[in-house]
Structure 1
Amino acid sequence: MARVEPLFDFENIPNLPDNLLPFPYQAGGHGSKATSAEFEMLRDPVESIFYKMVPSDERSIQEANFYLTVFADTAPPEIVQLRDVIPTFRGIFKVPSSGVLYLALEDLTAGLTNPSVCDLKMGQLACPPDAGEKKIEHEMSKYPDRGIVGFLLTGMKVYDQRTNRYLTVPRCYGRTVPAEHIFERGLLPFLQGDFKLAKQFLPLISKVRSVFVDEPKLPIALYSSSLLLIYDETRTNLVVKLVDFAHWRSAPEANDPSGVVRGLDTLIDTFGRNNSSPSSKFDIPLIELK
C-alpha cells in the first residue's frame, strides 16, 4: 500500500474531553482492553458520542481519511450515500500527553436499554490485495468458509433478561462455525432463538445492501469492516451499521471487490427463514461475562 497522506492537520487536533467513561458494549476485537490509563473505546456520559482509539500508524490516518471523505461538504452523491449506513462523524481528538488519536462518532447504542450487540467482519476477502500474499493467506486461514458465508463472526454480547446479565461466546468461536451451520450456531444465539427478531432486521440489512448494488455505484472497497447488529431488551429498537474503515480502498471501477454483498445476502437469506416462533435450538456455549 502506498503511503497515506492525512486529510487533517495533526497540529490543530483538539484535545480529548476529560469527562469520558469506558464504553461497555464492545462485542468484537480488542476494544474492552485498557492501554495504560487509556481505554480503546470511550463514551460521553451526556452526549451520544462514542470515542474510538485508532492505531498509531497509517491505519489511523486511513480511517480518519475515510470519515473525512464521506462527510466532506464536497462529497459526491456516490460517496454521500454511505452516511445512512455508518455512524455520524463528530471529529478527531487527541490525548495531549501521548498524542494518541480518537475518532468521535455517533454512539449507536445511545437510548437503548441493555443493548445486545453482534460484530460481523464483512466480506469474502479478509484484507485488500496490496496487503501481501502471506498476510492474505494468514487472514483467510483463520476462517476458510469466509468465501462462502461472506463474513466472520468476531463476537457478541447478549443481554439475558432472565438473569439480568450479559452473555458472550468463547474467544475465536466464530472461526469454528461451518458455513452450513452459520445461522443455528452463529446467528441464532445472538437472536436468543427469536425468528421474529431476525425478520425485523431484514429491512435494515437490505438498506446497507442497496448502497453496494444500487446506482450510483460505490467507488470505495471496504476490507475488514464490520457490520454491527444491535437490539435492546424490548426487541423493538434495532440498529444495523457498518463500522471500522482502516482498510478501505478507492475503487472507482470496481463493484464490491471484497465481497461484502455476499455476507449481506447470507444474512438476508438466513434471517428470512419461515420459522416465526422463538426457538431454543441453538447449541453453542453462551458464557457469562465476568
Structure 2
Amino acid sequence: MFKVPDHQVAGHRASQGVLGPLIDDSGRFYKPLQSDERGSNEVVFYTQFSSNKEIPNHIRKFFSVYYDTQLIEASDGSGLLPHLVLEDITSTRTNPSIMDVKIGSRTWYPQASEDYITKCLMKDRQTTSLPLGFRISGLQIYGSEQSGYWKPDKKRVLGFTAEDVRVVLRKFVSSNSSDDFGTEPDCAFAAAVYGGSTGILAQLLKLKAWFEDQTIYHFYSCSVLMVYEKEPILNGKSPSAAVKLVDFAHVLDGQGVIDHNFLGGLCSLIKFISEILKDQPHDLTKDNSGSEIACANDCNKI
C-alpha cells in the first residue's frame, strides 16, 4: 500500500533504517512526525490553519490539503508511527520538474536553543540564505525520456553560489537542462512556466501580497516548492505550474507583526525569476507578463 516517493528532492529519503515520507496510490503523502516538539508543532499548525477563517481562499491553494494524522508502519522498520497525511502534489504528474527553495535569510527561530541557532546560522552563512534571502534545498529537472532527470546531490546543491542559483533557475525552465553546468540554459520554457497569468511569477506575487499584510504567522525554515511538467508545453498545453508552501515545524505566532524574514526572501526569489523573464521575448497581447514584471519590481521597496 505504501511506497517511497519517486519525486522527493529534499529531506531524508525513506528506506530500511532511515525514517522518511511515504505515499500511496490515492494521492496522499505521509510525513512521519518528528518525536520532539517539531512534530507536534506541525500538527498544531495544520489543524489551526485548516480552520482559520482569516486565511483567504486564494491563499489556501498554496498549502497542501491536510487529512489529519494516521498511525502507519514507519519506513525505518521501527513499527507504527504517527504520520501527517497530506496531499501528494506530484501524484497527478508523470515527469515533474521540482525545486525546493528554503525561504528567509534566517532559518532559526526565536527561543531556539543556542546549539540549534549556531547550527542554523552556520548553514545560512555557508549557503545563499544570508546573502540572497533564500537557498535551493533540492531539485530535479526532467530532460527527456532518453536523458531522464538532472538531480544534483545534496552536497552539490548546498554548495550553490549566487551565480549557480541564477543558472539553476534558468536551467529549471530550459530544454537543455540534462547536463550539469556545461551548457548555457536556453530558457525555452521560461515564458510558459514563469510567465503568464497562471505562471509561477504570478503565483509568487499573490503570496507576496498576502505576506505584505498577514501578521498571523511567522514562517521559519519553510520552503516554496515549484512544480511543473514539460510535456504539456511541447503539446501546446499548460504546464500546470504550481507553487506550494511546505515544512511548518517552526511556524510561530506572528503577534501582529509582518514576517519580514520570509517576505524579504520571497521578494528576492521573485526578483531572480522576473529578471529571467525580462530577457525573454514575449507577446504582451497574449499574456500579462509585462505587468507581472512591473509588479515584481515593487520588491525593490522591501
TM-score (norm 1): 0.78
Cα distance change of structure 1 residues 175 and 42 upon mapping to structure 2, 3 Å threshold = closer
Per the alignment, residue 121 of structure 1 pairs with: 102
What CA deviation, in whole Å up to 9, does each residue of 1:4-45 have, x standing for no partner? Answer: xxxxxxxxxxxxxxx222211101121x23144x86222221
Per the alignment, residue 77 of structure 1 pairs with: 54
In the TM superposition, residue 106 of structure 1 has moved relative to its aligned partner by 1.1
In the TM superposition, residue 218 of structure 1 has moved relative to its aligned partner by 3.2
**8 Å contact kept, 2:105–2:133:** yes
In the TM superposition, residue 78 of structure 1 has moved relative to its aligned partner by 4.4
Per the alignment, residue 151 of structure 1 pairs with: 134
Inter-partner Cα distance in structure 2 for 1:276 and 1:180: 19
3-state SS of 1:68 partner: helix
Per the alignment, residue 241 of structure 1 pairs with: 244
Per the alignment, residue 28 of structure 2 pairs with: 49
Q: State the identity as a percent.
A: 26
Cα distance change of structure 1 residues 131 and 49 upon mapping to structure 2, 3 Å threshold = same
Match for residue 86 of structure 1 among 63, 72, 83: 63
**8 Å contact kept, 1:78–1:219:** no
In the TM superposition, residue 219 of structure 1 has moved relative to its aligned partner by 1.1
Q: Which runs of 5+ in 1 are unaligned?
A: 1-18, 278-290
Per the alignment, residue 255 of structure 1 pairs with: 258
TM-score (norm 2): 0.75
Per the alignment, residue 72 of structure 2 pairs with: 95
Per the alignment, residue 227 of structure 1 pairs with: 224
3-state SS of 2:210 partner: helix
Superposition pairs of residues 97-246 of structure 1, within 5 angstroms? 98-144=79-125, 145-161=128-144, 163-179=146-162, 181-184=164-167, 186-192=168-174, 193=185, 194=187, 195-196=190-191, 197-199=193-195, 200-214=199-213, 217-234=214-231, 235=233, 236-246=239-249
Per the alignment, residue 282 of structure 1 pairs with: none
**8 Å contact kept, 1:70–1:79:** no
Inter-partner Cα distance in structure 2 for 1:82 and 1:132: 32
In the TM superposition, residue 67 of structure 1 has moved relative to its aligned partner by 0.4
In the TM superposition, residue 123 of structure 1 has moved relative to its aligned partner by 1.1
Per the alignment, residue 63 of structure 1 pairs with: 42
**8 Å contact kept, 2:106–2:124:** no
3-state SS of 1:188 partner: helix
**8 Å contact kept, 1:183–1:270:** yes
3-state SS of 1:60 partner: helix
State the AA in 2 paired with 1:198. Answer: Y
Inter-partner Cα distance in structure 1 for 2:222 and 2:58: 17
Per the alignment, residue 4 of structure 2 pairs with: 22
**8 Å contact kept, 2:215–2:256:** no
For the aligned residue pairs, the C-alpha RMSD in angstroms reads 2.3
In the TM superposition, residue 137 of structure 1 has moved relative to its aligned partner by 2.9
Per the alignment, residue 267 of structure 1 pairs with: 269
3-state SS of 2:61 partner: helix
Cα distance change of structure 1 residues 60 and 35 upon mapping to structure 2, 3 Å threshold = farther
In the TM superposition, residue 120 of structure 1 has moved relative to its aligned partner by 0.9
Q: Which runs of 5+ in 2 are unaligned?
A: 175-184, 234-238, 282-302
Inter-partner Cα distance in structure 2 for 1:237 and 1:78: 24
**8 Å contact kept, 1:22–1:39:** no
State the AA in 2 paired with 1:219. Answer: I
What CA deviation, in whole Å up to 9, does each residue of 1:122-162 have, x standing for no partner? Answer: 11111102113442232122232423311111110111115
In the TM superposition, residue 221 of structure 1 has moved relative to its aligned partner by 0.6
In the TM superposition, residue 99 of structure 1 has moved relative to its aligned partner by 3.8
Inter-partner Cα distance in structure 2 for 1:230 and 1:51: 19
Inter-partner Cα distance in structure 1 for 2:247 and 2:79: 23
Instruction: Identify which range, 75-84 or 223-232, moves more after superposition.
Output: 75-84
**8 Å contact kept, 1:56–1:100:** no
**8 Å contact kept, 2:105–2:124:** no
Per the alignment, residue 177 of structure 2 pairs with: none
